[in-house]
Structure 1
Amino acid sequence: MPIPSLELAPFLQNVSPLPLPLASGVAALRCDFMVEAYDDVLFSRMGVTRPASLERAVAKRKSEYLAARYLCKLLLAERGLPTQVGSGQHRQPLWPEGWVGAITHSAGVAVAAFCMFGLDLERWMSDKTADNVESGILVDGERDALAGAWPFTRALTLAFSAKESLFKALYPRVGGYFDFDAAEMADVDWVAGRFLIRLRKTLAPGLEAGRAFEGGFHVMDGQVLTLILAFEPNHP
């Protein structure tokens, strides 16, 4: 269906459905947003509630929140659901009861989608950044699983994004933070855009060490988008 975003330009542009190859039944939207065009009045104009926690936030943070929550509003409204998605104690999105979704934003792009899954969008790391963060992201032997067609900095960005997606997917079950070393990239299919990530630590009942999750990745707008299905389709 047409997305009513033209009147919100130049702040919000190119709102459109986003196909997710690993989750064909999942509804997802993406958009571009321009931090330079942000104004506080846009919250009321776009029908998004601004939380008190953003009162003193910088324009970049407000822009990210507004763009992503607006996409949530469109997705929810299409299904006749309450359209406001607030934030929890750890800034996680609070979806209507019985629904689970994910949002992500990076470098002027926002994505929102529904399902039991995690979603993350990351800009490619520089060589300097990769050198500084590699030890905090990868565990022993994990670099071998990332060997392939991509330069290491991009492969590391993929691993970082995949672990962020895993965290977003499992947080509702775990109920707290867990570090990057809780999981490892086990395999990557660079051609098909798929990967396997495996838990190294037991995080909660049903999320024991050794459990693996299949994920997918897609290169868009000079960034990498990762998606992880957290549960089997018939899992409660």
Structure 2
Amino acid sequence: MFSPTRTFDAPPFIRRAESGYMRHQPALAYCLVEYDRAHYSDELFQRFSQPLPAVLANAVAKRRAEYLASRYCGQVLLEQAQAASTVIGTDDRVPQWPAGWRGSISHSDKYALVVVAPEPTGLMPGIDIEQWQPEIMLETADMFASPDEQKLLSALTLPYPQALLTLFSAKESLYKSQWPEVRRYFDFQAAKVTHVDEAEQRFTLTLTETLTPELKCGTVFSGSYAFLSDAVITCIG
């Protein structure tokens, strides 16, 4: 999934970071960091030249840390691309990208991940990272996977809980990718997985309902997935 071109860090908060481009979509740049919440402090916003938004005024340290780690990822990518601004704004918890750019953000308790692409590429990126939670996936599978999807996933060589988490993440990536067009909530049943290529670590999602005049029932989206030691990442470009 990833083709890294640079590794770096910013200790002690940023333990490790890498940036590069997506193997199946080279126009899509990414930055992935592993951060240490124990070393977070509000002073890091100034160190990384990022504003501390009013929306975080009453947020706990965990929320501030994951927000800063993800904004740091975006800053790295926008600086590498020599964008006019390296600040990603926030409007009602939705990232607001600098003019001429599109992107997507995801984070967990220890990882932050951002992908960006210039608007002229026409890409609508969506990225998601989920840490392992096999018991929860098995308990909640019916909430996000139809019987047909569960049958397809159970036929894969992937451990079933891992396959479920990948599907869950893929649908989250689709939601993030299409939010700028749809601008309303749509649930997990709005799309279904119709193909998984384990060799290439690729998946196909097909809409099961019409979301906009352009996004009709039957519209197909392709994406990639990858595994970390304790997480799954999915991306739709």
Q: Flag whether TM exceeds 0.5 (same fold).
A: yes
Looking at structure 2, the residues matched to 2 and 208 of structure 1 have their Cα atoms a distance apart, in angstroms, of 39
Match of 1:182 in 2: 190
Point out where structure 1 has 5 or more consecutive residues left out of the alignment. Answer: 230-236
Looking at structure 2, the residues matched to 200 and 130 of structure 1 have their Cα atoms a distance apart, in angstroms, of 22
Match of 1:62 in 2: 64
Looking at structure 1, the residues matched to 163 and 9 of structure 2 have their Cα atoms a distance apart, in angstroms, of 35
**Aligned pairs for 1:22-171 within 5 A:** 22-78=24-80, 79-89=82-92, 91-115=93-117, 116-127=124-135, 129-146=136-153, 147-171=155-179
Give, in angstroms, the shift of residue 126 of structure 1: 2.1
Match 1:191 to one of 199, 207, 211: 199
Looking at structure 2, the residues matched to 49 and 17 of structure 1 have their Cα atoms a distance apart, in angstroms, of 23
Looking at structure 2, the residues matched to 88 and 155 of structure 1 have their Cα atoms a distance apart, in angstroms, of 33
Match of 2:226 in 1: 218
Deviation digits for residues 78-136 of structure 1 (CA, Å, limit 9, x no counterpart): 323211101122x2210012311111112311111113210001112222x12332111
Looking at structure 2, the residues matched to 138 and 172 of structure 1 have their Cα atoms a distance apart, in angstroms, of 24
Counterpart of 1:141, as a letter, is D
Superposition CA RMSD, Å: 1.6
Looking at structure 2, the residues matched to 153 and 13 of structure 1 have their Cα atoms a distance apart, in angstroms, of 29
Q: 1 or 2, which has the higher strand percentage?
A: 2
Looking at structure 2, the residues matched to 130 and 20 of structure 1 have their Cα atoms a distance apart, in angstroms, of 27
Is residue 18–residue 30 contact of structure 1 (8 Å, CA) maintained in 2? no
TM-score after normalising by structure 2: 0.89
Point out where structure 2 has 5 or more consecutive residues left out of the alignment. Answer: 118-123
Runs of 4+ more than 3 Å apart: 1-6
Counterpart of 2:217, as a letter, is A
Q: 1:18 to 1:219 in 2, by over 3 A?
A: farther
Counterpart of 2:151, as a letter, is D
Is residue 21–residue 216 contact of structure 1 (8 Å, CA) maintained in 2? no
Q: 1:181 to 1:2 in 2, by over 3 A?
A: closer
Is residue 216–residue 228 contact of structure 1 (8 Å, CA) maintained in 2? yes
Give, in angstroms, the shift of residue 13 of structure 1: 2.2
